[in-house]
Amino acid sequence: MQELERGITLPPVIIKTIRIRKRYLVALAILAFLSFYLTRAQIDRAERQTVEVMSRALAGRVIVVDPGHGGDEPGVVGESGVEEKEITLMVGKLLAENLARAGAMVLMTRETDSDLSDPATAGLTAKKREDLARRVAVANDNMADLYISVHVNSFPGANRSGARVYYQPGAIEGGKAGRHIQSALSQVLKNTSHQPAEVDYYITRNTAMAAVVVEAGYISNETEEKLMLDPVYQSKLAWAIYAGAVKYFAVENPPTQKQPGNEGVIQTFKEHEGEILQEP
Ligand SMILES: [Zn+2]
């Protein structure tokens, strides 16, 4: 992900969400099926059972899943031409499904290949600014309990690899969530020994709840680039992030901004639809 300049303040954005469409429900059912069975085969049984028992801590939590980039903004690009935005969306959808099945209210910032900026907004910087501000607004306006932004890393040269979690410097809850998610990633993927790191990103700085950026791996590493395109590996990534979120709530038990009646529903922020997004 790319950092935007500091200190941007934008007027509050009113986000309304709508119930998911039939088409999306079908896609979700397929994803759920794949995710469930692929993951079962890959994750240690005892660990699965532990997380399953703890997962009741997710009931009623509002969790924002933010697949990074989208639309004209591909993010980092791999040797094969694969773009970060594709991987983040696939992992994000699987993650959302895991969380929703456990009873969380999941808000996705996007479900298609598009960013959140208004099509009428001109200029890349202005569009990026609007895009990020709206991602943050989805979390803040809905008083989310946890914000998980999924991204893909890149580094000059091919040596670096491994999933890594980032959180806002000094953020107590972000740090706790980051450590649980990093630990689950290490345990499930068995190919990363990174520690969570503090980085000052626009989205983690401006979100009012525990917020993490999960970099799923390095697209600059050929092996990891291939792995991140593998549905089974994507499923493991999503499950690990989910398991980390479960442990964060179960162990740390932060205060919840519960919204009764909305549990288990995945809602998606729809950009490009005038009636959905209203700015004062
Ligand atoms: Zn990114």
Residues 145-199: pLDDT tens digits?
999 999 999 999 889 999 999 999 999 999 999 999 999 999 999 999 999 999 9
Q: Which domain holds residue 99?
A: 14-278
Determine, yes or no, domain membership for 257: yes
Cα distance between the two ends of the chain: 29
Residues 91-144: pLDDT tens digits?
999 999 999 999 999 999 999 999 999 999 998 889 999 999 999 999 999 999
Determine, yes or no, domain membership for 5: no
Treating both helix axes as pointing N-terminal to C-terminal, what angle do 231-247 and 222-229 enclose, rounded to 10 degrees?
A: 80
| CA of 115 relative to ligand 1 center, distance in Å | 12
| CA of 261 relative to ligand 1 center, distance in Å | 33
Cα–chain center distance at 72: 19
| CA of 2 relative to ligand 1 center, distance in Å | 6
Residues 51-105: pLDDT tens digits?
999 999 999 999 999 999 999 999 999 999 999 999 999 999 999 999 999 999 9
Determine, yes or no, domain membership for 230: yes
| CA of 83 relative to ligand 1 center, distance in Å | 10
By the 10 Å C-beta count (0-12 exposed, 13-18 middle, 19+ buried), 38 is classed as: buried
Q: Which of 85, 72, 64 is nearest to 211 (CA)?
A: 64
| CA of 187 relative to ligand 1 center, distance in Å | 23
Q: What is the pTM of this model?
A: 0.82
| CA of 13 relative to ligand 1 center, distance in Å | 23
Which residues line ion ligand 1, judged by CB < 5 Å?
Answer: 1, 68, 75, 151
| CA of 197 relative to ligand 1 center, distance in Å | 15
| CA of 46 relative to ligand 1 center, distance in Å | 33
| CA of 64 relative to ligand 1 center, distance in Å | 16
Determine, yes or no, domain membership for 186: yes
Determine, yes or no, domain membership for 97: yes
| CA of 124 relative to ligand 1 center, distance in Å | 16
**Number of helices and strands in the chain (H, E):** 8, 9
Instruction: Please say whether the beta carbons of 47 and 243 come within 8 A.
Output: yes
| CA of 273 relative to ligand 1 center, distance in Å | 25
Give CA–CA dist 217/275, Å, rounded.
37
The CB-based long-range contact list for 154-158 (8 Å cut-off, 24+ gap) reads 154/76, 154/84, 154/218, 154/219, 154/220, 155/218, 155/220, 156/220, 157/220, 158/220, 158/221, 158/222
DSSP string covering 47-81: HHHHHHHHGGGGTT-EEEEEE--BTTB--SB-TTS
Q: How many domains does the chain have?
A: 1
CATH number at residue 177: 3.40.630.40
Residues 195-244: pLDDT tens digits?
999 999 999 999 999 999 999 999 999 999 999 999 999 999 999 999 99
Pairing mode, if any, of strands 210-218 and 146-153?
parallel
Determine, yes or no, domain membership for 3: no
pLDDT at 265: 55
Determine, yes or no, domain membership for 163: yes
